[in-house]
Amino acid sequence: MKILGIETSCDETAAAIVENGQILLSNAVLSSMDQHVMYGGIVPEIAARSHIESIVPVINQAFGEAQLDWPDIDGIAVTYGAGLGGSLLIGVMTARALAIIKNKPLYAVNHVEGHAYANFITESKLPGYQLPKAQPEFPILALIVSGGHSQLVLFQDHFQYQLLGQTRDDAIGEAFDKVAKIIGLPYPGGPSIAKAAPAGDVYAYDLPKSKLDSKYDFSFSGVKTAVLRLAQALVGEDYNFPSVKLPQRLNEAQKASIAASFQRIAVETVVDKTILAYQEFLPKTVIIGGGVASSTELRQQLQRRLAIGIEYTDPKLCTDNAAMIAALGYFQARQGINLSDPFLLDINPNLSM
């Protein structure tokens, strides 16, 4: 069964074809990121407009890469939430129109669940993908960490899962983005901080880890504020000093050590809880997904502390893509989950797990 996935929840316009939820046949992604960099974050109107321009070429590219045509496709899977309303609309409306015109079943996919299913892709017809050797076995503990989400989920089986914990405030990726801004590094912050950190001392600054009563919830607003106060103190100013002036006052060594110390603490925060959940539930496999799952620091810390081996997927399948949507779409198609009326399917920007 070959599923066409369509993903437009944020700034990436993506289309991909995946066979049986396992074999990557194509993976087309066009990001409008370069149009957002100067604003230091995603501008929803620009993202939506860019999706309109890109969606048809990107779908054509997905067919071209896979050397397939519409008769080969068994269904369409589209992200209907969570995400930016204007962005989601473009993907969902395109998928609806195609499902009607091409007479294909349409499956509505939850973006955050999709991040976990990137780990089910174990074979690729495309060059340049480092994939897990085997699909994860249930029960699966999944750490989903991105710019919009930080969640710890226990899957007993497909579509039988329990949300163990989530962030109470900022997502971990958002914290990376904000800390990068404080020290004057470009958006998106995760890769910028990863690049700056090796020149710094990971123990230079003692940043706080959040302490919440709930065992598996996360919080990142405290550490973000701590970085701001630290930077203000380092340049000899108080909390009234505007953050936009900090990059020009901090020296390179201070910036690198803030990046290194923050990265270590932010990653430790999610790894601590993942290890705790592993010890309580003893899942067969642990997986990670979402943009922050491409972090080398996260991969190394988790591997070092986890009692079992862990396989990681290619970073290209961690950041937003449509292959993960097509992979999950296959498992939905097998069980008839979220089979949707192409005349009625609506977006749900606040969809949760």
For residue 67, what are the contacts with CB-CB under 8 A and spacing of at least 6? none
Residue number, 63 or 219, with CB nearest to ligand KG4: 219
- Please choose, out of 118-126, 188-196, 212-220, 336-344, the segment that lies near ligand KG4 by the rule CB under 6 A: 188-196
**Interface with ligand KG4 in residues 197-236 (CB under 6 A):** none
Question: Can you tell me which residue has the tokens 């009563």?
Answer: 213
CB of 163 to Zn ion, least distance (A): 16
Residue number, 148 or 342, with CB nearest to ligand KG4: 148
Question: Residue 190: which of ligand KG4, Zn ion, none does it interact with, CB under 5 to 8 A by kind?
Answer: ligand KG4
Contact status: 11 vs Zn ion (CB under 5 A):
no
Alpha carbon distance 317, 307 (integer Å): 25
3-state secondary structure of 317: helix
Contact status: 319 vs ligand KG4 (CB under 6 A):
yes
Residue number, 10 or 345, with CB nearest to ligand KG4: 10
Q: Which of 232, 254, 274, 294 binds ligand KG4 (CB under 6 A)?
A: 294
Q: What are phi and psi of 188, to 5 degrees?
A: -75, 145
Question: Can you tell me which residue has the tokens 């499956």?
Answer: 107
- Please choose, out of 39-47, 226-234, 239-247, 285-293, the segment that lies near ligand KG4 by the rule CB under 6 A: 285-293
Alpha carbon distance 36, 66 (integer Å): 30
- Angle at CA 166, nearest 5°, toward 136 and 188? 85
Residue number, 146 or 285, with CB nearest to Zn ion: 146
Residue 180: in which H helix or E strand, if any? helix 172-182
Q: Which of 26, 94, 119, 146 binds Zn ion (CB under 5 A)?
A: 146
- Token pair of 63 as six digits: 């067919």
CB of 327 to ligand KG4, least distance (A): 15
Nearest CA among 214, 202, 201 for reference residue 165: 214
Q: Which of 8, 151, 295, 332 binds ligand KG4 (CB under 6 A)?
A: 295
**Interface with Zn ion in residues 303-342 (CB under 5 A):** 320
Contact status: 190 vs ligand KG4 (CB under 6 A):
yes
Q: Which amino acid is at 272?
A: D
Contact status: 81 vs ligand KG4 (CB under 6 A):
no
Q: Which of 8, 119, 146, 274 binds ligand KG4 (CB under 6 A)?
A: 146
> Quick one: angle between helices 296-305 and 252-281, nearest 10?
40
Alpha carbon distance 209, 129 (integer Å): 34
Query: How far apart, in Å, do the first and last CA atoms of the chain sit?
Result: 26
x/- letters, 10..49, toward ligand KG4 (CB under 6 A):
x---------------------------------------
Q: Any alpha helices (H) in 42-84, and if so which ranges?
A: 44-66
Residue number, 173 or 342, with CB nearest to ligand KG4: 173
Question: Residue 132: which of ligand KG4, Zn ion, none does it interact with, CB under 5 to 8 A by kind?
Answer: none
Alpha carbon distance 114, 79 (integer Å): 9
Alpha carbon distance 305, 243 (integer Å): 36
Q: Which of 320, 327, 328, 340 binds ligand KG4 (CB under 6 A)?
A: 320
Question: Residue 113: which of Zn ion, ligand KG4, none does it interact with, CB under 5 to 8 A by kind?
Answer: none
Contact status: 5 vs ligand KG4 (CB under 6 A):
no
> Quick one: angle between helices 189-196 and 252-281, nearest 10?
110
Residue number, 84 or 207, with CB nearest to Zn ion: 84
Q: Which amino acid is at 285?
A: T
Range 321-346 burial, b when 16+ CB lie within 10 A, else e = bbbbbbbbbbbbbeeeebebebeebe
CB of 224 to ligand KG4, least distance (A): 13
Residues within the interface to Zn ion (CB under 5 A): 146, 320
Contact footprint for ligand KG4 (CB under 6 A): 10, 146-148, 173, 176-177, 188-191, 194, 290-292, 294-295, 319-320
